[in-house]
Amino acid sequence: MLDMSLLTDLSQQTLEYFDNPCNVGYLDVQRRNVGTGLAGVPGQSDVVQLQLQVDPAQAVIEQVVFKAHGSAHLIAAGEFVSAWLQGKMLDAVQAVDSVFIASTLELPPTKQYCALLVSEALQKAMLDYQEKVK
């Protein structure tokens, strides 16, 4: 059972995303319309993998999933970004940077690196997708 006293620095918004993540999972990395990005150092720090599946004909993000190993703030940031991007046009990815994530979730200064990791994973996923469809 999770000790809720450990979550005192989470905003209500962050707690909601952490408490009910719906977009946790994996997509097939071999598919041409799936981009995968990983940020963090496995075994040494917080790590997040983010994947997006795109309808290339319409340039629409069909699905976004993530896996995170780290703090509640990292999990919440992964869930927020994956939920926010679902159904949006590909160019919406440009609006999702660490400042947008951190301010939306009201992350404390000591946890803003979580927003940076998710933003980095998203940018890498986008680059991976773009390389596949060249």
- Please check whether residue 41 lies inside any domain of the structure: yes
The one-letter amino acid code at 101 reads I
Structural contact between residues 88 and 45, judged by C-beta atoms closer than 8 angstroms: no
The 3-state DSSP class for residue 83 equals helix
The enclosing domain of 109 has a CATH number of 3.90.1010.10
- Please check whether residue 29 lies inside any domain of the structure: yes
- Please check whether residue 104 lies inside any domain of the structure: yes
CA distance linking residue 81 with residue 2, whole number of Å: 24
What is the extent of the structural domain holding 37? Answer: 10-133
Predicted TM-score (pTM) of the model is: 0.90
- Please check whether residue 79 lies inside any domain of the structure: yes
| Per-position pLDDT tens, the chain of length 134 | 444 445 567 788 787 888 888 999 999 999 999 999 999 988 888 999 999 999 999 999 999 999 999 989 999 999 999 999 999 999 999 999 999 999 999 999 999 999 999 999 999 999 999 999 98
Helix (H) or strand (E) holding 47: strand 47-55
> Number of folded domains in the chain?
1
